[in-house]
Amino acid sequence: MSINLRTVYAFAREMYPKNSSTPVQYGTAGFRGRAEFLDSVMYRMGVLATLRSRIRGGAVIGVMVTASHNPEPDNGVKLIDPKGEMLEASWESIATDLANVEDSELEAHVAKIISDNKIDVGSSSNVFVGMDNRYHSPRLLKAVADGVIALKGNVREFGIVTTPMLHFFVVAANTRGAYGQPTEEGYYRKLITAFETLRGDKLENGNYRNKLIFDGANGVGARKMLQFLKRMHNSLQVEVINKGDGKINENCGADHVKVKQAVPIGMPIVEPYTRCVSVDGDADRVVYFFTDDAGHFRLLDGDRIATLVADYLMDMLKRCDLDLSMGLVQTAYANGGSTDYIANTLKVPVACVPTGVKHLHHKALQYDIGVYFEANGHGTIIFSDNAKCLIKAQSETNPNAKILLQIIDLINETVGDAISDMLLVETILNSKGWDVKDWLATYDDLPNLQLKIKVQDRNVITTTDAERVCVTPVGLQEAIDKVVSNYKRGRAFVRPSGTEDVVRVYAEAATKDETESLAYEVGNLVHQLAGGVGPELIHPGKTISAHI
Ligand code: G16
């Protein structure tokens, strides 16, 4: 096959010219920003995915058009490598350079990527594309597809799907069906079969009730949950809210519930302690919440899911008589209460890595069973080939190992999958006979708070030690340390977001009041030392801040 790179430039000039001179950066999960500036980035990512497939011998690469938890005007792109992982780290800079090059230099730049990486441009290339339900996603998906076509690659469009579904299709196709069928029906079938086999006819057990509210964030997750329910045999009673009638993620969804520590909009009146679930716009994150009989909001976040799952899996391994290594991976956002519980009560090795599932996934691969969750509800569990072989062999004689095999099928190992994670939590709670009170009683969270600070250039903040220590601006970390030392059980860190144009501040301390005060003190330090935009933050006890 002969390829004329002039076509790459011609397409760009005619249909996807670069319309912004502001540099874009591959962030925590790909490129993200205002949709009107992303057409050229999308087109170029179609080109990049085609080259990436060629260098990987024609294996399928995924391109997901979504801005996930961001507000409606934003969009973004996530690239999926052949094993369902996020794009290999060494290609992130290739992606950034390609996204920023001028149109007139595009042809020469693509030629350079090809020669630098010794890519056989005549070989076959396969790219799967999917999108969320934002109104600009179809336009941006077409740009990705045109990028593939410009380099004569094969493109398969899946339309509106969740991000984890696209990860699933990529792995299913690359393993020739061993992981499942690379279709929407194949995905539902695999997860529902595992869930219903595990549940059997025991729909309730002990304190566990078969009923929950599902906040779909007006995103893809709502649509797909409804599809799940159509295909399930009443094995789970779910009421779906925020189905798509409002704006995606606006006052709803996992990010809102976690960061604001409040129920989503549209909540029906439910009995105290009813289990409620929130997913984000592309359904790769999930958190649980409920309201107690005093009307207080209570959160069960990614840390809670991780500890519930780790505890369950450890117990299953004992019952299966298997000696496999298990580790839990968190980020700096993990609540100190959860880390203490994992290390001291569960006695599972726990690691801390920078934000972004790409980092957690990578670390989790070091264990036979790697459980990774960010506090925001993004995570999954991965089993090594060795672990799978041993569990399979054991299942010949041990009924618990048979259950564990179904659990593996229920988990979308490729990346965090809100619906798969939720079905897993439901399975575990049912098997333990637990309600949300039982689950919450396992350990106490320290009060915590996150703030977003607008600064002129968030890149002035650089960090080290899994983002727990701020390196620049010089003096900021010392100032934070000084402030933190005044608070009992105080901990705080700052880092630039990789998905929004803000600096994030995290604080936790012994009491809610102290946590708020610590967060605002640190927020003001960022504002003063890192070029804050607008007036300083004012503690909400005094007046409402414009920065949250
Ligand atoms: C993405 C990443 C997550 C990360 C989140 C926030 O989530 O996949 O791993 O925790 O961004 O990142 P940051 O704090 O850098 O903005 P999503 O669900 O938005 O794709």
Residues 369 and 238 in one domain: no
Residues 401 and 474 in one domain: no
In this predicted model, what pLDDT tens digit does every residue of 327-379 receive, in sequence order? 999 999 999 999 999 999 999 999 999 999 999 999 999 999 999 999 999 99
Residue 375 labeled ligand binder: yes
pLDDT at 545: 42
Calculate how far, in angstroms, residue 165's C-alpha sits from the geometric centre of ligand 1. Answer: 18
Residue 173 lies in a domain: no
- Give the CA radius of gyration of the chain: 23
Calculate how far, in angstroms, residue 68's C-alpha sits from the geometric centre of ligand 1. Answer: 8
Residues 146 and 16 in one domain: yes
CATH number for the domain spanning 490: value is: 3.30.310.50
Residues 391 and 407 in one domain: yes
- Which residue puts its alpha carbon closest to atom 9 of ligand 1? 356
pLDDT at 4: 83
CATH number for the domain spanning 9: value is: 3.40.120.10
Residue 544 lies in a domain: no
- DSSP assignments along 443-490, one per residue: -PPPPEEEEEE-BS-GGG-EEETTTTEEEESTTHHHHHHHHHTTSTT-
pLDDT at 542: 52
Residue 179 lies in a domain: no
Q: How many domains does the chain have?
A: 4
Q: Which of 417, 441, 465 is the last residue of a domain?
A: 441
Q: How far apart are CA 122 and CA 54, in angstroms?
A: 9
Residues 279 and 327 in one domain: no
Q: Tell me the best of 162, 163, 499 to mutate to test the pocket of ligand 1, counting ligand atoms within 8 Å of each CB and taking the most.
A: 499
Residues 123 and 113 in one domain: yes
Q: Does the beta carbon of 380 sit less than 6 angstroms from any atom of ligand 1? A: no
Residue 175 lies in a domain: no
In this predicted model, what pLDDT tens digit does every residue of 22-58 receive, in sequence order? 999 999 999 999 999 999 999 999 999 999 999 999 9
Tell me phi and psi for residue 95, to 5 degrees: -65, -45
How many residues does the structure list for the chain?
548
Residue 171 lies in a domain: no
Residue 398 lies in a domain: yes
Crossing angle for the helix pair 39-55 and 6-14, to the nearest 10 degrees: 160
Residues 91 and 65 in one domain: yes
Residues 290 and 328 in one domain: no
- Which residue puts its alpha carbon closest to atom 3 of ligand 1? 356
Q: Does the beta carbon of 28 sit less than 6 angstroms from any atom of ligand 1? A: yes
Q: Does the beta carbon of 255 sit less than 6 angstroms from any atom of ligand 1? A: no
Residues 473 and 363 in one domain: no
Residues 364 and 491 in one domain: no
Residues 15 and 154 in one domain: yes
Domain of 48 in residue numbering reads as 5-160
Q: How far is CA 243 from the centre of its chain?
A: 20
Residue 379 burial (10 A CB sphere; 0-12, 13-18, 19+): buried
The count of other CB atoms within 10 Å of the CB of residue 321 is: 11
**Which is nearest to 308 in space by CA: 145, 438, 491?**
438
In this prediction, the residues of the chain whose per-residue pLDDT falls under 70 are 540-548
Residue 176 lies in a domain: no
Residues 310 and 251 in one domain: no
